[in-house]
Chain A
Amino acid sequence: KNQVEQSPQSLIILEGKNCTLQCNYTVSPFSNLRWYKQDTGRGPVSLTIMTFSENTKSNGRYTATLDADTKQSSLHITASQLSDSASYICVVSQGSNDYKLSFGAGTTVTVRA
Chain B
Amino acid sequence: SQTIHQWPATLVQPVGSPLSLECTVEGTSNPNLYWYRQAAGRGLQLLFYSVGIGQISSEVPQNLSASRPQDRQFILSSKKLLLSDSGFYLCAWSVGPALNTEAFFGQGTRLTVV
Mark B36-53 against chain A: 1 for CB-CB distance below 8 A, else 0.
000001111110010100
Residue of A nearest to B88 (CB): A41
* CB contact under 8 A between A43 and B107, given known A4-B43, A103-B44, A105-B43: yes
* CB contact under 8 A between A98 and B94, given known A41-B110, A51-B100, A104-B43: yes
Residues of B within 8 A of A34 (CB): 102-103
Q: Is B101 an interface residue (CB 8 A)?
A: yes
A30, B41: Cα distance in complex, Å: 25
- How many chain-A residues does the 8 Å CB contact rule pick out? 27
A4, B103: Cα distance in complex, Å: 17
CB of A103, distance to nearest CB on chain B (Å): 3
Interface of A is mostly: strand
- How many chain-B residues does the 8 Å CB contact rule pick out? 30
Question: Is the CB–CB distance between B100 and A89 below 8 Å?
Answer: no
Q: Which of B41, B46, B98 contacts A100 (CB 8 A)?
A: B46
A43, B44: Cα distance in complex, Å: 11
* CB contact under 8 A between A42 and B94, given known A31-B99, A32-B99: no
Question: Is the CB–CB distance between A43 and B108 below 8 Å?
Answer: yes
Chain B positions within 8 Å of A, measured between CB atoms, are: 6, 32, 34, 41-46, 49, 51, 57, 88, 90, 92, 94, 96-108, 110
Chain A positions within 8 Å of B, measured between CB atoms, are: 4, 9, 31-32, 34, 36, 41-46, 49, 51, 89, 91, 96-106
